[in-house]
Every structure is written in structure tokens, then in C-alpha cells.
Structure 1
Amino acid sequence: MKRYIINLMLAVAATACLTSCNDFLKEDPSSQIKEDEAYKNETELYLNAVAALYNNVGGHNDSEGLQGTARGVYDLNEFTTDEAILPTRGADWYDGGLWQNLFRHSWGTGTDCIGDTWKYLFKSIIMCNSALEHIDAYAKAHGQSDNTAYWRYEARALRAMFYFYAIDLYGRLPLYSTSHPTVAQMQLQERSTVYKHIVGELQDCAAHLTGERSNWQGKYYGRINAATCYFLLAKLMLNAEVYSDDDWTDGVRPSGSNIYFNIDGRQLNAWQATEHYCDLIAGMGYRLEDDYTANFAVHNEKSRENIFVIPMDKYLYQNQFKYLFRSRHYNHAAALGLNGENGSSATVEAMKTFGYGTDTADARLAMSYYCDQVRDLNGRLVTLDDGTPLKYYPMAVKLDLSGDPHEKTAGARMKKYEVDPTGTKDGNQSDNDIVLFRYADVLLMRAEAMVRNGENGDEYLAMVRRRVGESPRHATLATLLDERMLELSWEGWRRNDLIRFGEFARAYTHHTPLPDEANGWSTCFPLPGDFLAITGCKQNPGY
């Protein structure tokens, strides 16, 4: 699984450029490579300025990486929803109330992982700015080349991607254009302003980035490309009503039908623009895999469906993948020759959506979750310490299981990615590339955009369902929200979906909305206190 990019040792020169006027943006410059060595030719420039940026897409420390680690972007998007729950199990998983508070939306302003995730995203943005500065300095000294021109678009597109996650989580943001922003440059911009900036950056970059596959091995493996930009643009258009709304607590959103974008000389509303970018991806040859599980296999680098992934290789990279590790019961993991933390589970709502316990259970239930009795890779039943078969109880899960008869066994567990029996770090490092964006989501986005625009999206919904042997359904907003859980469970989109559908603050099993939450205040997380102290900016409403 060799990759043309990413060498952690060579990333130091890039991270060393992150000094600023305050501790919030400081990095430890020890061990940095001398600048005349780090950027002496195009090869070194690429490795130390551009390739180093991809170290931030995955990660191995808490609150770092877009997926794979704990207490970061992924957890904020999953454990705040009706899809996933990390229950307290006696002495396990209380963690100062962190996981209960995320599920209850009761994070206030003091949940460390919310502030740490902000810092991770803006460290990544600052690194992109540093890369751009080094590229410009090199081009000024040696002349512009095709490579340096391309790498500028690559760094800008990565910066826009990190901004996408930041605008989704926090709403108002500073727009940094330098690696050393002053306090004046750190002032918050309205959400709609940031939104327009991200759209413009991705539109410009997409026109100059390669159409080569990013998830396939080769020169562009793991690198942002035109299809990744189109996917992000489709997401941005589909969420236009959310991201264009500067006052998300007044209960009123602008209409996507009346939000227009100039695309190739045409004025398209948000839903038409979503369809446009989905069609561009389809035209690049992406398609559904015949086998749903192939997208998550140990060796999934040849998937025709995956668009952008975090490359994984236990011998080459430090990226970690904690989801399976966190979810499996100790004995279940041990039977696989790995380890487990007996934590994260599906909610009761997820099991109801999948039809658990019924004759009409969705085919993806068995592909996505461990339910009831489980077996090891040789087909043997996994047992508890007393020799009785281990059995998961999906419908017995609740927020605090302490003292419950199913304290250690309640909840369906994550199964979506194939087990890598050769995994290292207790199974936290495996060879399954982590899927960030894939074509099934493109089809569902197109169906939803059509429904929101008064069109019939049945064809695109049926394509996703036929692949797993499920019969067609009429595409409505209700069936599409359900389908997004069925198809995309554990993939980190549920919070984004619930907010867009106006369902984030609804009541469901073990979750009661907080006072005034219906006005939308909890749809954006609080801004970190140290950032506010430095800049004098106001906190997001509701906190």
C-alpha cells in the first residue's frame, strides 16, 4: 500500500511554521529541519510543504484527524445523534460524563474535545497557509512551474476541506490567509461569508485538480482531487439552507430554492447545484460496488465506489482506526486475536430503523452490526469467561447501564469494516482504508436534492437499495433520512443529516431535548474559551 506522500519525519518543517502571537496557535518547533534543507528543490518542497498536510487528514492522537481517532470530528458527529451511543458500563466509559453529555447535548462550554477539535482544524488550516507561503517563496526564487502551480490548488483545496468541517461544527469562523494571523485577522466571520468563501475556493480548485482516482494506489493515492472537490461542493449545496443562515436560533432558514449559484454561466438554485456536482462525479466513472462490503474490506484500495479515503497501512503510517477497537466486547476482540474496549453501540433508534427483530430487517443490518451471538473468524461461538456464549442485546442499550443485567453486553456493536486479523496496536492499526466520501452518498444526495426541488428522486434511491437486495421505496424526505442511516451508519454523517432535516433536537429513546433546544442553538458547538479570550469575540448563541 505504498503511497507517494506522507512522511511524518518530513512534516516537521511544515508544523514548525505554526508559531503565532498566542499559545492557541503555537507548535513546538523542536526537531525542525533547517529551512534551506526542507525546501531546497521541488521534491523537498512537495514533501515538506504539501505532503505533510495529509498527516492531518488521519491521525493517531485524540481529537486529531477527520476519522479514525477518538474525541474529535467523528465523535462529535456520531455520539450526539440517534445513531450511536457510548453508554456508561459501571466503572467503564463514564469519563467525567463526556459521553453522556454528548448524547444529551449537554456539553456547555467546558467539553475539552470540542475545543481540542477546533484547535486541530485550525492547526490544519494554518499548515495549509504555511504550505502556500513556502510554495510562493519557492516559485518567486526559482520561477513558477507546473508542479508549484498544481500544489497551490492542492493546498487550497485541502484548506477548504478543513473549513468545511469547521463551518459544519462551529458556524462562525475566522478566515485565515496567513500562517501568522494577527488578532485582528482572527475575528469571526458570519457563517454565510465563510460558506461563500469555501464554495468559491473549491470551485476554483476543482477546475485545476486531477481527475485521477484518489482512492486507488498510484501517484494521487490519498490526495485531494477534482472528485473530492465536487463531493464537498455537493455537500455544501445540499446544506445551503444551514450554512447560509447567520442566525440559526430564530427558527427560520433561507429557502434552498431561492439560494442561487453561478455555475458555468448558469444560475442554479441550491438543489440544482447539488444535482450538478453529483452528476459530475458520476461522469468521472464512479459507481456502486456490486458487493457493499467491498468498500470496507481489509484491502479496499480498488473500490470503484470510494472517492476519498484515509490510507491505512500498519507498517507505513501512524494513522489509527479506533472504531472497531472501541466497540467490541473484550472477549469478542480476544477471540479475533485483537483487543477491545467494550464501548460504543448502536442506539435503539438505529435498530428500529434497520428493522432488528423483524422479518423485514434491512440486509445492511448484518453488514453493519454485531447483534445477538457472535463468532470468531473460524466460525466458533465467542464465549464469556464462564463459558456461556457471548450475546449482544441491541434493544437493552441505554445511556447508563451500571448495575444492569446487560451492563457489559447491551447494544449492537460496530461491524462495518472487515476485521484485519494482522492488526497492530491492539487492532487500532489495520489495513482497511478509512472511507470518508463514497458514491452511494452521491446518489442519496442527488435523490434528496430532487425531492427538495419538487422532482422525483426514486431512481437514485432505488439504485442504492437494489445493490443490497432491498426493494424500491418512494423517495420522500422521511424515507431518505432513514436510508441515509441504513446506508451510511458509522460513517460520520448523522449529525449533519439530522440538522439539515430539522431533526437534531427531537426526542428519542434516552434523549430528551434541552430547554429551548428547538430554536437551533445546539446545532453549532461552542467556541473555545481561549480563542474568545484572545480575540474578544462573542460566544455562539445558547452558551
Structure 2
Amino acid sequence: MKFIYKIFSALILANLVLVSCHNELDQFPIDPDSFTEEDVFSTADEAKGALTKLYASLALTGQQGPAGDADIDGVDEGFSQYSRMLYNLNELTTDHAVVGWGDPGLPNLHGMSWSASNDFTEAMYYRLAQEVSFCNSFIANAEALSNDSEVLSFIAEARFLRAFAYYNLIDMYANVPLTTIVSTELPEQSNRAEIFSFIENELLEIQDLLKESGSNEYGRVDKVAAWALLSRLYLNAEVWTGENRLDDCIVYSTNVINSTYQINTNDANGNGSAYDELFLADNDTNGAQNEFIFALNFDGLQSKTYGGTTFLVHASIGGTMAASNFGVNGGWAGLRTTKALVSKFDNAITATDGDGHPTDWADSRAMFYTDGQNYEIETIANTFEDGYAVTKFKNIDSEGNQGSDAGGDFVDTDLPIIRLAEIYLNYAEATAKGANGGDLNLAVSYINALRERAYGNTSGNISAGSLTPAFVLDERSRELYWEGQRRTDLIRYGQFTTADYLWPFKGNSRDGISVEDFKNLFPLPNNIIVTNPNLTQNKGY
């Protein structure tokens, strides 16, 4: 049964007494939002009710759905949802996506010309700061029930979610305040190495406090999530701390791979590929859920938002696309991709148009709509037809039925944040880069498992000689595009800001140009720099 985020008024008022967050976020980078009653939890059931808010803060945007009582002021509520901002900051800034909308600050993301006052880099910081605040408050209150073993597992989940928030903060902003208690004091700034150590130690400490692999409710994390986040952390350690931790990446990737989670090979809709099942409206039941280690749950009736997969589905539809084929009532004509992503599938082309541009592929992960769409992008703004459209996310189930919202406004499709396929790729990358403990033949078998699912046969399989770091980077692009990891991957390979890899309109140039290296980080919001003298802005801003 899907773990639905119930943040409607009755539950919130019963379990959480929250203070307004926006003014405090203006004053404190890590907002001391708190539960204001000392004994807010009297039972484990009440604590579980409050735990839903910690998950909901990443999936939804306020105290009612889909809008009207926002957690974060000062930005359109739909824009403020975590995974929508993750897409904007980690996909739209790369070769994977462009958007035609002209909302202030949005065109600057793909053009890599953002400033310290960008609405979207600010809103993501506030969302993550709020998640840390909620987690700190929950932990402080739940500890009063720590003699209950179930509550101890709740606390471990809250610590995971706090570590996950800091994983995002260290990736995007680097040197941020580290706070683990509710306080109104202006926090000091911690450096990246300190934040890294905190995340690592938290995950190591909670791994045995979290529930066993696969034993928690769908939508809640277990110990495998801690191992998976450690795998990610160690993969990026050299960028963030200067220390190569690929050996540790192998260890924790292996732990994950040997757990109960499985790559989805269930072709429930009988179209010859199990890959698309991962992104359909019934991906909580069609077999895809067995691959999801950490996912954000969405439901078109019970958890409405203009972010999440509602955003990914609607915003990807335009031109001659039929919205009914995607289980929604219309398209927002915004998101497309660049030829740089499309070209990652060049070895799988099975058909082209009159100009020689690809229109069909043997690799089922090449989920592009080409009819009436231009391969080349001449202009981004208000021209949906420039650039291929992406059909990866749909609000239909494996049998072709529309999601639960009969009106077609809101989407049921859950969004995987960490899935097993990523860990296969982490293992392969660490092995290809020479990590001790990595088995080359095993790494190739993991890559081929993903490619066999994508091709429906062994025709796309590779040999050990093909498993290079560059190949793995391209394979990550093919497997994980639009899932919020591309910017981080490109930075790890030294390709995000440099001229080593260019894509259309990188640096606001049609053919792409390099940009300043300081763009590897986003700025801290200007207003928190002004209000907290303990903070120093990231270089270049």
C-alpha cells in the first residue's frame, strides 16, 4: 500500500504545531522552525503522523494541496517543490533540458547566468533548510519516546532525511551551517569536509537502526537507503573533500546490490521493455517499486502538487503531442531536450527523417517525441517545437488507464530519487576508475543487465574493454536523464563549466561555450548573507 503524505489540516494541527517559516528563513540559513509544544508526541502513532511531514516536505509544498498555504513564501508555490527545483537546478542547467518559459530567473539556469538573487537557487536552499529544521524538531520531540523501538526507527528515518538534505546542500552550496538542534542563535558556517563527515557518520550510525531491507512501508526508507546514499557520497568525495573514496563506494554499492532490491524486468504492459514501467502511474505496484530504494510518492487525489511528476508530465507536452496519451488534460509546452542527450543514443538508431535526424531507436530508454519537433534548437523561448520532446513520465498505468484524478490535473506517478540501477552505475564507475575491490567482469554484468532491459535482448551488450569512465558517464545519461543527477555527474567529470564538453546554449551561446568555474556551485541566498554575519558567500557571487 502506498505511503501517502497526509499533510492536510486535520493531521497537521493534530500532530505538528508549526510556526511560520519565511521570516525566520530570511534571518537564519537553517531555519529553527519547530514543534512548539514540549510534549507534542504522546504515542508512537502520533510520532508516525508527524514523521509523514518530513517526507511530505520533499514531495509537497504546504499545509494543503495543491496550493494556498505554502511552506515557503516569496516564490510561486508550485515552483517551490523539492523535485521540481532539483530538476531545474540539476537537469535544466545541463545538456538534458531546456524550457521555453520566461519566469524571472528560469532562463538563466540553462544559460548558466544565474546570480545570487536567483529565485530558484534561493528557493531550493530554503526548502532544504526547512527540511533540516523539521527533522531537528521531530528528533528532539520523538526522543521522549525513545524507549519504544518503533519510535527509534522513526528517529533513524528522520536522521536519514536530514542527512539527505545535507547531501543536497553540500552538492549545491558547499559551505553551509550545520545544525542538529532547534535554536534561535545565528549559526556558524561549516565547510564542505565537515558537512561530508557529518553525513557519513550519520548514515553509518543509523544503518542498523533503520528497518531491514524491504521491510518498511513503501515510500519510507530502510537501511539500504543509508547504504545507497553512502555509495553516492563516496562517489563524489574527491570533488567535495579532495579525498578519493571510491573503494568505499564499492563496499556500499555491493551492500545495496546484495540486498532485497531488484532491477525491474517486469514488462507489465507487454511493449517489449520494462524500463518505461518505472515511470508510469502504477509504478508503486507494477514491479518498479522493487527497484526504488527512495522515492517520492504522488497521488492525483490525496497528495496534489504542481511540482513532482505533475510538473514533469504536463510541462513536457506541447506541439502536436496528445495530452490524453499521457493521462492528463493538457500540456504546459515547456520542457524539451537538446541534441546532446539525443546523440547519446546514436549507436541504437533504427530510423531517421529526411534530414538524417533520428526518429526511432532500439534502446527503449530513448523516449523522445519527434513528430513536428526540430532536432536543432534555434531559439528556446516560447518555441516548444525546437528540441525533441521527452515522453519518459506518464500518468497512465501499465494497462493504459489514466491515473486516479479523472480531471487529468494531477498525477499518480511516483518519482524515484534513488533506484538500484543508479547503484549498478556507481559500482561500474568506481571500478572503471580503478577502485580496489571492484570486479571488472561484475561491473560489466551490471551494465549489461541495464542494457538488456533497454534493448529487450543482448544486442546492446558491451565487453570489458568498453567499460571506461567516459562510457559510464554516457550510460548514466541514458539511464538516469531527468532524474536529477546530471549536473552532479558532469561536475565529477570536470565537464559542467569547462569547454571539454559543450551543448546547445550552454553559456547562452547557440553552440555552447565554457563558463566560469565558480558556477560549479550555486550562491547562498543574498538575504541570508545580509542577515547573518557568520556567513561568507560562495566565490564569484
| Gaps in structure 2 of 5+ consecutive residues | 29-33, 62-76, 266-273, 352-357, 397-401
Is 1:409 the equivalent of 2:390? no
Is 1:509 the equivalent of 2:509? no
The answer to whether the 8 Å contact 1:211/1:284 transfers is no
**Shift of the alpha carbon at 1:334?**
4.2
Task: Output the amino acid matched with 2:291.
Answer: E
* SS in structure 2 at match of 1:107: coil
The answer to whether the 8 Å contact 2:221/2:293 transfers is no
The percent of aligned pairs where both chains have the same amino acid is 24
Structure 2 CA distance, aligned partners of 1:74 and 1:23?
A: 23
The answer to whether the 8 Å contact 1:19/1:25 transfers is no
* SS in structure 1 at match of 2:301: coil
Structure 1 residues 523 and 23, CA gap change in structure 2 (3 angstroms): closer
Matches within 5 A, 1:261-276: 270-276=245-251
User: Which residue is 1:40 aligned to?
Assistant: 42
Is 1:432 the equivalent of 2:438? no
Task: Output the amino acid matched with 1:499.
Answer: I
Structure 2 CA distance, aligned partners of 1:372 and 1:508?
A: 19
Structure 1 residues 364 and 82, CA gap change in structure 2 (3 angstroms): farther
* SS in structure 2 at match of 1:95: coil
User: Which residue is 1:124 aligned to?
Assistant: 131
**Shift of the alpha carbon at 1:331?**
5.1
Is 1:297 the equivalent of 2:280? yes
The answer to whether the 8 Å contact 2:139/2:155 transfers is yes
User: Which residue is 1:262 aligned to?
Assistant: none
Given candidates 151, 155, 158, the residue that maps to 1:155 is 158
User: Which residue is 2:444 aligned to?
Assistant: 458
Structure 2 CA distance, aligned partners of 1:271 and 1:165?
A: 20
Matched residue count: 475
User: Which residue is 2:268 aligned to?
Assistant: none
Structure 1 residues 326 and 144, CA gap change in structure 2 (3 angstroms): same
Q: 342-351 or 308-317: which moved more?
A: 308-317
Give a deviation string over 1:211-270, Cα, whole Å, max 9, x none.
Answer: 2437xxxx52211211111111100000001121xxxxxxxxx351xxxxxxxxxxxxx1
**Shift of the alpha carbon at 1:502?**
0.6
User: Which residue is 2:369 aligned to?
Assistant: 371
**Shift of the alpha carbon at 1:298?**
1.7
Task: Output the amino acid matched with 1:94.
Answer: G
Structure 1 residues 449 and 426, CA gap change in structure 2 (3 angstroms): farther
Matches within 5 A, 1:243-254: 243-244=240-241, 254=242
* SS in structure 2 at match of 1:309: strand
Structure 1 residues 78 and 20, CA gap change in structure 2 (3 angstroms): closer
Give a deviation string over 1:96-153, Cα, whole Å, max 9, x none.
Answer: 3x333111210011211111110111011000001011112x33xxx72212322221
Structure 1 residues 224 and 359, CA gap change in structure 2 (3 angstroms): same
User: Which residue is 1:317 aligned to?
Assistant: 303
**Shift of the alpha carbon at 1:76?**
0.5
The answer to whether the 8 Å contact 1:330/1:339 transfers is no
User: Which residue is 2:168 aligned to?
Assistant: 165
Is 1:522 the equivalent of 2:519? yes
Q: CA RMSD in A?
A: 3.0
User: Which residue is 1:329 aligned to?
Assistant: 318
User: Which residue is 2:293 aligned to?
Assistant: 307
Task: Output the amino acid matched with 1:147.
Answer: E
Structure 1 residues 540 and 523, CA gap change in structure 2 (3 angstroms): same
Structure 1 residues 172 and 328, CA gap change in structure 2 (3 angstroms): same
The answer to whether the 8 Å contact 1:481/1:497 transfers is yes
Give a deviation string over 1:333-358, Cα, whole Å, max 9, x none.
Answer: 44445111111101121111122994
Structure 2 CA distance, aligned partners of 1:357 and 1:238?
A: 29
Matches within 5 A, 1:328-367: 328-329=317-318, 332-336=321-325, 338-355=329-346, 358-359=349-350, 363=361, 367=365
Q: 526-535 or 34-43: which moved more?
A: 34-43
The answer to whether the 8 Å contact 2:230/2:249 transfers is yes
**Shift of the alpha carbon at 1:39?**
2.3
User: Which residue is 1:145 aligned to?
Assistant: 148
User: Which residue is 1:491 aligned to?
Assistant: 483
Give a deviation string over 1:485-510, Cα, whole Å, max 9, x none.
Answer: 11111111100100011100133222
The answer to whether the 8 Å contact 1:309/1:437 transfers is yes
User: Which residue is 1:284 aligned to?
Assistant: 259
Given candidates 219, 224, 235, the residue that maps to 2:221 is 224
Task: Output the amino acid matched with 2:473.
Answer: L
Structure 2 CA distance, aligned partners of 1:511 and 1:484?
A: 20
The answer to whether the 8 Å contact 2:227/2:253 transfers is yes
* SS in structure 1 at match of 2:321: helix
Structure 1 CA distance, aligned partners of 2:540 and 2:222?
A: 38
**Shift of the alpha carbon at 1:516?**
11
Given candidates 86, 93, 103, the residue that maps to 1:73 is 86
The answer to whether the 8 Å contact 1:363/1:468 transfers is no
The answer to whether the 8 Å contact 1:364/1:487 transfers is no
Given candidates 515, 539, 542, the residue that maps to 2:540 is 542
Structure 1 residues 167 and 15, CA gap change in structure 2 (3 angstroms): farther
* SS in structure 1 at match of 2:315: helix
* SS in structure 1 at match of 2:18: helix
Structure 2 CA distance, aligned partners of 1:4 and 1:325?
A: 22
Matches within 5 A, 1:51-62: 51-60=52-61, 61-62=77-78
**Shift of the alpha carbon at 1:423?**
5.8
* SS in structure 1 at match of 2:497: coil
Task: Output the amino acid matched with 2:300.
Answer: K
**Shift of the alpha carbon at 1:459?**
3.1
**Shift of the alpha carbon at 1:42?**
2.4
Structure 1 residues 364 and 188, CA gap change in structure 2 (3 angstroms): farther
Structure 2 CA distance, aligned partners of 1:340 and 1:292?
A: 23
Structure 1 CA distance, aligned partners of 2:413 and 2:362?
A: 19
Task: Output the amino acid matched with 1:371.
Answer: Y
Task: Output the amino acid matched with 2:282.
Answer: H
Structure 1 CA distance, aligned partners of 2:38 and 2:106?
A: 47
The answer to whether the 8 Å contact 1:206/1:229 transfers is yes
Give a deviation string over 1:277-331, Cα, whole Å, max 9, x none.
Answer: 1111111122222211222222111322221111122222224420120111165
Structure 1 CA distance, aligned partners of 2:513 and 2:339?
A: 25
Structure 1 residues 145 and 17, CA gap change in structure 2 (3 angstroms): farther
* SS in structure 2 at match of 1:166: helix
**Shift of the alpha carbon at 1:432?**
1.5
**Shift of the alpha carbon at 1:7?**
3.7
Given candidates 220, 228, 233, the residue that maps to 2:230 is 233
User: Which residue is 1:480 aligned to?
Assistant: 472
**Shift of the alpha carbon at 1:527?**
0.4
Structure 1 residues 485 and 425, CA gap change in structure 2 (3 angstroms): farther
The answer to whether the 8 Å contact 1:325/1:426 transfers is no
The answer to whether the 8 Å contact 1:230/1:277 transfers is yes
Is 1:94 the equivalent of 2:107? no
Structure 1 residues 78 and 428, CA gap change in structure 2 (3 angstroms): farther
Given the two structures, how large is their TM-score scaled by the length of structure 2?
0.80
**Shift of the alpha carbon at 1:78?**
0.6
Structure 2 CA distance, aligned partners of 1:220 and 1:541?
A: 43
Structure 1 residues 465 and 2, CA gap change in structure 2 (3 angstroms): closer
Structure 1 residues 231 and 305, CA gap change in structure 2 (3 angstroms): same
